[in-house]
Amino acid sequence: MGTKRLSMRKIREVLRLKHELGLENRQIAKCCRISHVSVGNYLARFTKAGLSWPLGPEWDDGRLSDALFGVRAERQPGRELPSLIEIHRELRRPGVTLQLLWEEYRANHPGGYGYSQFCEHYRRFARKLDPVLRQEHRAGERMFTDFAGPTIPVHDPRTGEITPAHLFVAVLGASNYTFATATRDQGLEEWLLAHVEAFEYFGGTPQIVVPDNLKAAVSRACRYEPELNPSYAELARHYGTAVIPARPYKARDKAKVEAGVLVVERWIMAALRNRKFLSLAELNAAIRVLLERLNNRPFKKLPGSRASWFREIEAPALRPLPEQRYEFCEWIRAGVNIDYHVAVREHHYSVPHSLVNERVEVRLTARTVEILHRGQRVAAHPRSFVPGGTTTIEAHRPKAHQRHLAWTPGRIIRWAQSVGVYTAAAVQSILESKPHPEQGYRSCLGILRLAKGYGPERVEAACRRALSGGVCSYRSIKSILAAKLDSQPLPQPEETTAAVQHDNVRGRGYYH
């Protein structure tokens, strides 16, 4: 795949995952939905260009497009450690392998088992453990996430309405240390906030997060190339981690969290089944108490507990939390209209007029709207919640509109005249009703495009009816056409009552 055909944001993500997280190429490939060969090619070119990470602000997408590739990391050696329990524990530490543990063992026991027998004894021991403990994951490497199937009812004390609360579960791979929290739903915002709370509960972030293929996490599920939700990918960048979704219908990929969900259902949800909760906060307070009890329960076949293993081997391996908490955002792709505005949640925000007809990305938070073109921010606005409103920065307007845009009010009115005089009058009425004519372009173009679907005659009749009723707008004219009111005669003005002849009635001449 050529560099220019790949999103520059995705290429930057390849570089980040390699140079900040140190992931292997195949892990990067899964995370970014490209082949591992392409990852190696991009990284090789990056190194050959003599660049270093992080890149400075002067490296925009155009400058980077020819120099983003680097050297493939060597595959990490296998994993594995003697007392068999100590081997099992030590294998969860970063960099520890059975080979290393066997060499240390033979240094202290020159007549001990050979390497193959040493491995076989450990594997026999590991097969006797519970499946949730048998899988070998490095400390700090993976966090598995999912929602539990059952829900917990929350009662509204004012209305008596019962709302089901969903239970989010996160499990660390090496220690099985578990986090759970109740959410309002399984939507994107609740999903991301639950991850933030999990990271804060653990006091750090893992190298990799492994979610299920639910819609909040994966925009397009695929066994080989799942496409992450852009907001989820941004959360991963903020916390310095990578997201590699489990393969669809592959329970082994998420065995940790599935077992964790069963444990949470058994020790938390079942324990709360007879309690009545009046708010989500009250429910989560009860969950935290039971969560501490769960994490401190002793293992059945190993010494210690989830909490003790977490403190001893997992917590030191986690990456530190960033200074600022993640702020929820949405990513939206939009087109710049001829009025150099983009529509975001029924509100219009301006961009530089030179971007007319370009595609942009919009980063939407509770307070701000950022608009990016080819990876570079081109506009930022305070978020407005006024439907149909317009937020415009004066610097975005063209100094000479005719030079930068082919569209003018006169041209739109002339185009409307080709449909009919009433259509031209309706378009002119809309343009004159706006503080800036450009704000009416979108509505006018919508009316003109109706002529392609309904025909000029019907649009002309609909505009005549809209003008007579003083309701000139795209929505009104479209509604008239949809209801076929254009074919009905215009309402006649109400007949006035015959003038009453009386000495006290003043005539028209009285007012002159």
- pLDDT digit string (tens) for 203-233? 999 999 888 767 666 655 455 455 677 888 8
For 367, phi then psi, to 5°, come to -120, -25
Amino acid of residue 167 = L
Separation between Cα atoms, residue 290 and residue 281, nearest integer Å: 15
- pTM of model > 0.75: no
Separation between Cα atoms, residue 57 and residue 41, nearest integer Å: 24
Separation between Cα atoms, residue 433 and residue 416, nearest integer Å: 17
Q: Is the pLDDT of residue 113 over 90?
A: no
Q: Predicted confidence band at 74 (pLDDT cuts at 50, 70, 90)? A: very low
Residue with tokens 């949809």: 482
Separation between Cα atoms, residue 173 and residue 198, nearest integer Å: 14
Task: Return the pLDDT at 347.
Answer: 92
Task: Return the pLDDT at 133.
Answer: 42
Cis peptide before 493 (omega within 30 of 0): no
H-assigned helices in 33-153:
36-48, 61-64, 84-90, 98-108, 115-127, 131-134
Rounded average pLDDT over 78-97: 66
Amino acid of residue 13 = E
Residue from 256, 96, 241, 100 nearest 174 by CA: 256
Question: Which region among 73-87, 183-197, 340-354 has the lowest average model confidence (pLDDT)?
Answer: 73-87
pLDDT in tens, 312-340: 889 999 999 999 888 888 888 899 998 89
Rounded average pLDDT over 448-470: 91
DSSP-derived 3-state class of residue 36: helix
Residue from 329, 330, 246, 317 nearest 31 by CA: 246
Is residue 210 within 8 Å of residue 244, measured between CB atoms? yes
Residue from 156, 235, 246, 151 nearest 189 by CA: 235
Is residue 172 within 8 Å of residue 143, measured between CB atoms? yes
